[in-house]
Amino acid sequence: MPILKIDGTAPLSAGSVKALAALCDQTEDHPGTEAVTLHVEGAPTEGWTTGLNVALVTKWERTLRRLERLPAPTIAVVRGDCGGTALDALLATDVRIATPGARLLVSGDAGATWPGMASYRLVQQAGAARVRRAVVLGVPLTAADAAALGLVDELTDDPEGALAATVRRLAGRSGKELAIRRQLLFDATTTSFEDAIGPHLAACDRALRRVPVGEAP
């Protein structure tokens, strides 16, 4: 099972991009991978954007998009504060497990919160009104807040046990079909019914073709 630890206290770097890209490569090169696990923790301090440039940020965001589309279930385990690259990665996963003391932070610098795609994903996943203070003012979201908003799926004092149970539950859900379901989910918030029905019917057709004649889907 591919595993990566992302330290949110460390500034975004070429090494950050390389490590996440290697995880994506490993998963894409091994069809049937049961699950991908990210351990995310930490938030950056003031000055963390020093040395960043748009080219590096672009590479990071594109690699996160690869993570979001992997042909395997992705699971994040978060402990403590979670901001910066750690928050970016958390929000691109399928299942999120958090300890009760975890907090999600849109980190700031130069007098405002960072305007990266974490803010976009927070709004897409929880709604603008519900995350307004976090995105605009940098107010932390507690684990309980995040769970109530659906940004994390499970709060537990035993994250390793919860991770093992989640991996077992997701067994057999990797591959192209999983990626299709994700894409239908992503598209649902921005696509009209008339435009969505075609892809949904195509997915239904794929599913029915995979079921032997005479058996229920």
113 lies in the same domain as 9: yes
State the chain's maximal CA–CA distance in angstroms: 63
Structure tokens at 217: 């889907």
- 62-118 pLDDT, tens per residue? 999 999 999 999 999 999 999 999 999 999 999 999 999 999 999 987 788 999 999
**Residue 85 near residue 48, CB atoms below 8 Å:** no
Rounded Cα distance, 207 and 138, in Å: 43
pLDDT of residue 49: 87
Give domain status of residue 82, yes or no: yes
Q: Is the pLDDT of residue 29 over 60?
A: yes
pLDDT of residue 212: 61
pLDDT of residue 75: 97
pLDDT of residue 211: 65
CA 98 to chain centre: 13
Mean pLDDT on 209-217: 58
pLDDT of residue 33: 82
Residue 98 belongs to a domain with what CATH number?
3.90.226.10
Structure tokens at 19: 């490590």
Secondary structure of residue 105 in the 3-state scheme: coil
Residue 182 host element (H or E): helix 176-188
Rounded Cα distance, 96 and 89, in Å: 10
191 lies in the same domain as 92: no
188 lies in the same domain as 147: no
38 lies in the same domain as 144: yes
The structural domain count of the chain equals 2
61 lies in the same domain as 137: yes
Q: How confident is the model at residue 217 (pLDDT cuts 50, 70, 90)?
A: very low
Give domain status of residue 84, yes or no: yes
145 lies in the same domain as 90: yes
pLDDT of residue 180: 87
52 lies in the same domain as 73: yes
194 lies in the same domain as 157: no
Nearest to 78 by CA among 189, 162, 19: 162
pLDDT of residue 216: 47
| Domain region containing 78 | 3-169
157 lies in the same domain as 134: yes
Please name the residue that has the structure tokens 């003031």: 46
Q: How confident is the model at residue 21 (pLDDT cuts 50, 70, 90)?
A: very high
Rounded Cα distance, 171 and 77, in Å: 18
Query: What's the mean per-residue pLDDT of the chain?
Result: 92
130 lies in the same domain as 34: yes
| DSSP-derived pairing of the beta strands 36-42 and 112-113 | unpaired
- 150-205 pLDDT, tens per residue? 999 999 999 999 999 999 998 877 778 888 888 889 888 888 999 999 999 998 88
203 lies in the same domain as 122: no
